[in-house]
Amino acid sequence: RKEVEQDPGPFNVPEGATVAFNCTYSNSASQSFFWYRQDCRKEPKLLMSVYSSGNEDGRFTAQLNRASQYISLLIRDSKLSDSATYLCVFVSSGGSYIPTFGRGTSLIVHP
Amino acid sequence: DTGVSQDPRHKITKRGQNVTFRCDPISEHNRLYWYRQTLGQGPEFLTYFQNEAQLEKSRLLSDRFSAERPKGSFSTLEIQRTEQGDSAMYLCASSSSSRPRDRGYGYTFGSGTRLTVV
């Protein structure tokens, strides 16, 4: 089983739609979780951290389910500018702080 | 501070040649990471430095790959005897052990070096 699994998509949604992505992880020692955004032929950039209690940042909501070992990202009121690849990332405990990336989920928001 | 810089941005080389990439991290960051990313995949971890010490190198793809960070500042990644399968984007990232988790530990990526082996 891969350490991190994501549906590559693409998710093709109209402007204004709500869309959600999940990401499952296999390493139970995973301690910190993040969502990164990567635009075509650009470097990944941090979108938001993910906390056990769930957290929001504007139109974006992230959640963590440790029992089922998955994290999710919900985007409300999608904009054309949200079109990108969304990468889930975890960092294991142990001090090395090496981020492990999923393969990413492609989102295309159309007019 | 201008962020993480990588040089060159693009490299085209013939199979069998050696290539070297450079990464200049954010100046106050003590950790530096190298990743490889191929089309349709997420970044794949290669190696990691804390200051000048290379703390993890078991995931370098083969013995043709090596990395250095001699003075704890910039780093180089070398690929010897390149193969067509080495064609990919090579990303460098840096972070600080003192940055908080809610800022993603300050992980910042460079723009990458795109390698094409012909």
**Residue B21, helix vs strand vs coil:** strand
- Rounded to the nearest integer, the mean pLDDT of chain A is 91
- Compute the average pLDDT of residues A65-88: 95
CA-based nearest residue to A38, from A47, A48, A29, A30: A47
Q: Mean pLDDT for each consecutive 10-residue tract of chain B (118 residues)?
A: 88 98 93 94 93 86 93 94 97 82 74 97
Give the Cα separation of B41 and B2 in Å (integer): 27
The length of chain A is 111
For B101, the 3-state DSSP assignment is helix
In this predicted structure, the answer to whether residue A99 has a pLDDT above a threshold of 70 is yes
- Rounded to a whole number, what is the distance in Å from the CA of A54 to chain B's nearest CA? 13
CB interface of B with A, residues 27-66, below 8 Å: 31, 33, 35, 40-45, 48, 55-56
How crowded is the C-beta side of B114, counted as CA atoms within 13 Å? 7
Query: How far lies B75's CA from each of A92, B35, B80, in Å?
Result: 24, 13, 16
Q: Is the pLDDT of residue A73 over 60?
A: yes
For the segment B87-108, what is each residue's pLDDT rounded down to a tens digit?
A: 999 999 998 877 666 566 678 8
What single letter denotes the amino acid at residue A2? K
Closest CB from A99, A103, A104 relative to B107? A99
The band of A1, judged by pLDDT with boundaries at 50, 70 and 90, is: low
CB contact under 8 A, A43 and B55: no
Of A2, A1, A12, A7, residue with least CA distance to A72 = A7
β-pairing, B10-13 vs B113-117, is parallel
